[in-house]
Chain A
């Protein structure tokens, strides 16, 4: 595996994240990276995402930590207030629940509680999502869980260039950001040629991943690729689907979504986490509040099962949202 993308190779999702960290550390000495096994002596991260950074920038700025999630996120909180730009890695999204006090009670609130005297410009990177039978405690996407906390920004890229551009923006942002990296994007996600100087992607700005006129699918992260596959499948039947990749979950790009919804009048919200109490409920409600009389039918929501993520391959497959479940929802929307 190459450790850095060159202008001639196609960059993987991992390359996008690695290069964003590398470029951020090169351009700003305040950027520091720490988490479990992230330094090169420990392998540069479980997925080698941080490989090469400690050799290049030293083990003062790039540190492996003990398996201590509260200590990791807490250290990011303090360092951020003191003036650093910490990028803390919590290996898996589920483990962020161990450090939820630091992220939700402290990182998100210390600016507000101080009356704006302090800011907490930290980024927490974490792998999320179900793939490969990791089971119930290693596969969750805690999007709605943290989106409900005032004071956090939540980002979930779907492509290598978005991973690069959004991570640079998170690190440069003055507020605490949670950066969700879907496991599947590290294994078989699309590759892209990154520019010599890749662009930053502003937070809160969605991307039209596929332009269409009949149905809008609003989605993010790995599910973008399932939605694009579903759009391709129904195109054969003359259904022209617009796919919106939110890129940032909180704050989400209401303007882009509402403009698209007003055009197509048929909307499906799709995400890997379960439907009940999820992100789709919020997006659906906002569309109904703004466009109720203009819609051809109700906004539909589709997600994975509202169960713990199972182990057996057949069960994990049955649990997961996929192109087929999104396709079914698209066809249902067109019948409205």
Chain B
């Protein structure tokens, strides 16, 4: 790979990761100040997983994600302004304010479903992959979920079916080591979630989820496997969750030393240092990038706050596509 491409690529990954972090920071500030109230599940610490996976996907590939999905939404390309408006329940949001942070959908970006139910995205991801397989459109479907989801029945049903049918799907476990408040070892019978792939005759790989380049490389292999008709892959990206399960959870069940060690592996400063040391980026360039991202996020937040909530007539629209008799 030519060096220049690599520089551009790595800096682009950093831009995405910094956008995720900046959105998270600004949501947090607005919630703390009481300006907005929302059910919010922070992806802070997990930026590299979404960014690496989406770097290996085409814009037409599908992504199904879960309620801790802000990083996925942004990495897949959901526009900042639409996403912010939806998170704040505004009429101009991706879903007209009817979905909210836990139910983002933006088909133009390939972000097809965000589910609020743990593990439920995996069977649905199979459905997208099934139709791609039947109609030969060449698309790959990726599906994000947490380590907690690997203990629910839908995970096991979905992995088995994907393997039996050799579906072009990639299961991406964002292993942040906590299922809500419960540590991995306290609720999961294996130490490596990637090992569970073996039960279904599927390739399972564990990757450093704080390294977007490593995640991207693992995802690229899985995408190639899926497009070649060789079936699904389970990727376990080991990472950490710096804020609690949701806004309002101080995360007291996480040992201070464990948190401090995890923060040492924070994917953002780590990639920034690599950009400077290995990829020839300049400090000025990165500072300019960060300023630019911050300004864009600030503008998206400002615009979202200034837009109206949906009209109450929206309550009754979109329940059905067709009412009895075929009229919309």
Task: Determine if B153 and A70 form an interchain contact, defined as CB atoms under 8 angstroms apart.
Answer: yes
For the complex, is B95 an interface residue (Cβ under 8 Å from A)?
Answer: yes
A220 to chain B, nearest CB (A): 15
Does A330 count as interface, using CB distance less than 8 angstroms? Answer: no
Residue of A nearest to B121 (CB): A74
Q: Is B321 a contact of A111 with CB atoms below 8 Å?
A: yes
**Known contacts A84-B131, A115-B95, A204-B325, A78 near B320 by CB under 8 Å:** no
| Chain A residues whose CB sits within 8 angstroms of the CB of B326 once the complex forms | 202
What separation, in Å, do the CA atoms of A102 and B98 have in the docked complex? 19
Asked whether A66 lies within 8 Å of B105 as measured between CB atoms, the reply is no
1/0 per residue B87-124: CB within 8 Å of A? 00000011111110001011100001101010010111
B98 x A119 contact (CB < 8 A): no
Given contacts A70-B123, A115-B95, A151-B320, contact A82 B131 (CB under 8 A): yes
Which residues of chain B have C-beta atoms less than 8 A from A114's C-beta? 94-95, 98-99, 103, 105, 318
- Against B, the Cβ 8 Å flags (1 = close, 0 = not) of A68-109 are 111101111111111110100000000000000110011000
The answer to whether A117 and B94 have CB atoms under 8 Å apart is yes
Is A82 touching B132 in the complex (CB atoms < 8 A)? yes
Chain A, interface residues (CB within 8 Å), range: 35 or more
Cα-based distance from A113 to B95 in the complex (angstroms): 7
Q: Which of B112, B113, B123, B323 contacts A73 (CB 8 A)?
A: B123
Instruction: Considering the complex, give the chain A residue whose CB is closest to the CB of B159.
Output: A71
Cα distance, A335 to B319, chains bound together (Å)? 42
Assembly CA distance A174 to B326 (angstroms): 9
Q: Please, could you name 29 A-B residue pairs with CB atoms under 8 Å apart, sorted by A? A: A32-B130, A32-B131, A32-B134, A73-B123, A74-B127, A74-B158, A78-B64, A78-B123, A78-B127, A79-B131, A83-B135, A84-B127, A84-B131, A86-B127, A101-B154, A102-B124, A105-B120, A111-B320, A114-B99, A115-B97, A116-B321, A117-B107, A174-B322, A202-B324, A203-B324, A204-B323, A204-B324, A205-B324, A205-B325
Contact A78 B126 (CB under 8 A): yes
Stretch in contact with the other chain, from B35-43, B160-168, B171-179: B160-168
Name the 5 nearest CB pairs between A and B, nearest first: A78-B127, A74-B123, A204-B324, A174-B321, A115-B96
How many B residues touch the partner, as a band? 35 or more
Is B157 close to A, CB under 8 A? yes
Q: Would you call A208 an interface residue if the criterion is a C-beta within 8 Å of the partner chain's C-beta atoms?
A: no
The answer to whether the Cβ of B125 comes within 8 Å of any Cβ in the partner chain is: yes
Does B301 count as interface, using CB distance less than 8 angstroms? no
Q: Give chain B residues whose Cβ lies under 8 Å from the Cβ of A205.
A: 324-325
**Could you say which of A68, A106, A115 contacts B157, with CB atoms under 8 Å apart?**
A68
**Which chain B residue shows the least CB distance to A169?**
B326
Which single member of B134, B160, B317 contacts A66 (CB below 8 Å)? B160
B312 to chain A, nearest CB (A): 15
**Alpha-carbon distance A121/B320, docked complex (angstroms):** 10
Task: Give A61 to B125 CA distance when docked, in angstroms.
Answer: 18
Partner-B contacts on A (CB < 8 A): 32, 60-61, 63, 65-66, 68-71, 73-84, 86, 101-102, 105-106, 110-119, 121, 150-151, 153, 173-175, 202-205, 248, 251, 253
Contact call A113/B127, Cβ cutoff below 8 A: no
B145 at the interface (CB under 8 A from A): no
Interchain nearest-CB distance for B12 vs A (Å) = 27
- Cβ-closest chain B residue relative to A75: B127
* Cα of A101 to Cα of B164 in the assembled complex, Å: 23
Nearest chain A CB to B136's CB is how many angstroms away? 10
Which single residue of chain A is at the shortest CB-CB distance from B103?
Answer: A113
Asked whether B62 is an interface residue with its Cβ less than 8 Å from the other chain, the reply is: yes
**Closest CB-CB distance, A176 to chain B, in whole Å?**
9
B113 lies within 8 A of A110 (CB): yes
B273-328 residues at the A interface, CB under 8 angstroms: 317-326
A60 touches B134 (CB 8 A): yes
Is there a chain A Cβ closer than 8 Å to B129's Cβ?
yes
Q: For the complex, what is the distance from the CA of A102 to the CA of B324, rounded to whole Å?
A: 23
Is B128 an interface position by the 8 A CB rule? yes
- Please name the residue on chain A nearest to B167 by beta carbon: A75
Task: Tell me, in angstroms, the Cα distance from A150 to B315 when the chains sit together.
Answer: 12
Nearest Cβ in chain A — how far from B72, in angstroms? Answer: 16
Choice from A71, A111, A118, A203 contacting B112 with Cβ under 8 Å: A118
A-side contacts of B154, CB under 8 Å: 70-71, 74, 101
Does the CB pair A81–B113 fall under 8 Å?
A: yes
Contacting residues, chain B, for A70 (C-beta < 8 A):
123, 153-154, 157-158
Is A106 touching B134 in the complex (CB atoms < 8 A)?
no
State the CA gap A174–B64 with chains docked (Å): 21
